[in-house]
A and B are shown apart, each in its own frame.
Chain A
Amino acid sequence: MGKPRLDMTTADRILAGTVDPADAPPGFEAVVALIGSARAPHAPTIMPASGRAPAPRPRRRQFMLAAPPFRSRLTIAAAAATLVLASGTAYATGLPAAASATARGVLHSLGVSTGSPAKTHSQPAATHGATVSSTARTTTATGAAKGAQIAALASNGRSRAGQGGGDSATAKSGADAKGSGHGHGAEISALAHATTGTAGAKGATISATASNGRSHAGQHGHNGHHGGSNGSAPAAGSHGGASSGHGSGSGHGGS
């Protein structure tokens, strides 16, 4: 038997799956069968209803669905969740804008909203502490009212100092308030007047007292980031005043 012959067109048809093993060129029957095996569809996961003959299995791949839709949905959802997580992390940690923009673009194309690109402070952190300190020195308010004013300024209006625990009209004096656990602002106000320290040291002293020692104002490593102190500083809702210890970064209470 001579060497089997195969022309280019037949080779192309064999790989396209249009040559039956019975019609294969001599010597290539096994090859056609092997290529046919390699193209064989997967076993269907859903069997046709009993009582009827199963439909003939199509040759072309586009009808050979095997994986259940749930699996693919799960994968797409997992990919989207990963991208959301990665995008959120990139956003939080300040990765290069290009990386975040790419992730946002991908999520946007998938119909996932990623929110606004950046938060803005109402005032630069570097000058916030100086403003609070200046107000504490120059305001004409006294007692709890003064504390509430400073707390509101220090927290950008989020502080509820002076509310709930007693309004300014019914606020007790500083000494009374201290004795009953309210009126903390008066004490802070007096401290702000009496402290002889300057700039960051004074701010740190006042902030530490206002937050019952939880504030890290004046310490290194925060650099004006806003998030570090919000969780640890009291809202001053029951203290009746004070500057809430909000300023943990170098900006808050820094001067």
Chain B
Amino acid sequence: MPARLPELIEACFARLQEDMVRYLRAVAGADVAEDVASQVWVEVVARTAEFQGDEAALRRLIFATARRRALDQHRRWWRRKVSLHPPGDGVLERAASEDPAVVERDRALVWIARLPRAQAEVVLLRVLGDFSTEEVAEMTGRSPGAVRVLQHRALRRLASELRRHRGQV
């Protein structure tokens, strides 16, 4: 298994990097998402020596690491005594994409990111990470039942929000 790890990491990077950055934009802030993603990959590479498992396990490790780094980023931000810019959505700092599919996707993720934090996290891990309920439960330290309740509430809230802002989607 260790002999295949570089190839495995390479494949995971190609597949997950963009979605992981999207996830981090939503939970950690757009202005730090790229930096946190870099930290995630460095940490993942550093932990490959002790890693045992298949590609699915590596994907779980990567997103779990991303989630931890995002939480660290939040704690760090709250510890700061002076903050000129809250870690919001730095839309103006991002290069505009001309791909309609990408634009539509980012717009959908903005709607999800507006959900309460726990609900947004669960939905993003399910949608972007393609994890099952049980996997999300394991990664977030919740029970599968709690995750189901969160995602149920998230979808109902989304439906309510979309009805209120009909025509914006």
Task: Select the stretch in B1-9, B27-35, B65-73, B83-91 that faces chain A.
Answer: B1-9
A141 within 8 A of B: no
A19 to chain B, nearest CB (A): 11
A69 and B14 alpha carbons, distance in the complex (Å): 7
The interface residues of chain A lying within 8 Å CB-to-CB of B159 are 4, 6, 27-28, 30-31
Also in contact, A39 and B127, with CB within 8 A (given A6-B152, A6-B156, A8-B148): yes
Q: How far is the CB of B150 from chain A (nearest CB, A)?
A: 10
Across-interface contacts of B95 in A (CB, < 8 A): none
Of the A-B pairs whose beta carbons lie under 8 Å apart in the complex, a sample of 25, sorted by A's number, is A4-B156, A6-B152, A6-B159, A8-B148, A11-B148, A11-B155, A12-B133, A12-B151, A28-B159, A30-B166, A31-B155, A35-B123, A37-B104, A39-B128, A42-B101, A60-B130, A61-B15, A66-B14, A69-B10, A72-B17, A75-B13, A75-B41, A106-B46, A109-B48, A110-B6
Q: Which of A38-80 contact B (CB under 8 A)?
A: 38-43, 60-62, 64-69, 71-73, 75-76, 79
**Interface residue A16 (Cβ < 8 Å from any Cβ of B):** yes
Docked-complex contact A72 and B14, CB < 8 angstroms? yes
B42 & A79 in contact (Cβ 8 Å cutoff): yes
A42 in contact with B162 (CB, 8 Å): no
**Contact between B104 and A42 (Cβ–Cβ < 8 Å)?**
no
Minimum CB–CB distance for A13 against chain B, Å: 11
Are B111 and A40 touching (Cβ within 8 A)? no
Interface residues in chain B, defined as those with a beta carbon under 8 Å from any beta carbon in chain A: 2, 5-6, 9-11, 13-15, 17-19, 41-42, 45-46, 48-49, 99, 101-102, 104-105, 107-109, 111-112, 123, 126-128, 130, 132-133, 148-149, 151-152, 155-156, 158-159, 162-163, 166, 169
**Interface residue SS majority, chain B:** helix
**What is the bound-complex CA distance between A37 and B106, given in angstroms?**
9
A33 part of interface (Cβ distance < 8 Å): yes
C-alpha gap A75/B44 in the complex (Å): 13
Q: What is the minimal beta-carbon distance from A27 to any residue of chain B, in angstroms?
A: 6
Residues of A within 8 Å of B158, CB to CB, are 31, 34
Flag whether A179 is at the interface (Cβ < 8 A): no
B158 nearest CB neighbor, chain A only: A31
Q: How far is the CA of A110 from the CA of B4 in the complex (A)?
A: 10
